[in-house]
């Protein structure tokens, strides 16, 4: 079985990200590709990390929090990282629930104002 080794361009295409995004993730040390001259190559570790980063973004985690979480595995191992994940996920779920409640309230108020305006226009 051959080792995964993607070029910069292939990595952008695989994850549907811009070159600027990929360079930024490198700059903030989320990714550390192998360098050969000016070329960058991404192995299995970087592909796995990118998958986790994009999943974290989908769930609303800040990039710095993701960076710190990824460092836990490097420094303390899988179990420590999984424990940290449980805490992070619980906190994020609470934040998302609060956001959902705020959105539901805003939608209900907007719907009420919409309906009042429609009725006003029908009478007018």
Q: Which CATH number fits the domain that encloses residue 31? A: 1.10.1660.10
Considering the domain boundaries, does residue 1 fall inside one? no
Structural domain including 74 reads: 6-123
Q: Which residue did the predictor score with more confidence, 3 or 98?
A: 98
Domain count, the chain: 1
Mean pLDDT of 39-62: 96
Phi, psi for residue 29 in degrees, rounded to 5: 65, 30
Whole-prediction pTM: 0.82
Q: What pLDDT, on a 0 to 100 scale, did the predictor assign at position 2?
A: 59
pLDDT at 1: 46
Q: Which three-class secondary structure state does DSSP give residue 59?
A: coil
| pLDDT for res 124 | 79
64 has pLDDT over 50: yes
Contact of 56 with 13, CB cutoff 8 Å: no
């Amino acid at each position: 079985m051959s080792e995964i080794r993607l070029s910069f361009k292939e990595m952008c295409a695989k994850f549907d990200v811009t070159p600027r995004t990929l360079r930024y993730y490198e700059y903030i040390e989320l990714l550390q590709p192998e360098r050969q001259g000016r070329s960058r190559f991404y192995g299995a570790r970087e592909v796995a990390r990118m998958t986790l980063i994009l999943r974290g973004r989908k769930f609303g985690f800040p990039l710095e929090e993701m960076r710190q979480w990824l460092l836990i595995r490097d420094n303390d191992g899988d179990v420590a990282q999984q424990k940290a994940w449980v805490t992070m996920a619980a906190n994020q779920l609470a934040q998302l629930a609060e956001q959902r409640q705020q959105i539901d309230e805003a939608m209900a108020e907007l719907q009420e104002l919409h309906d009042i305006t429609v009725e006003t226009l029908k009478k007018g």
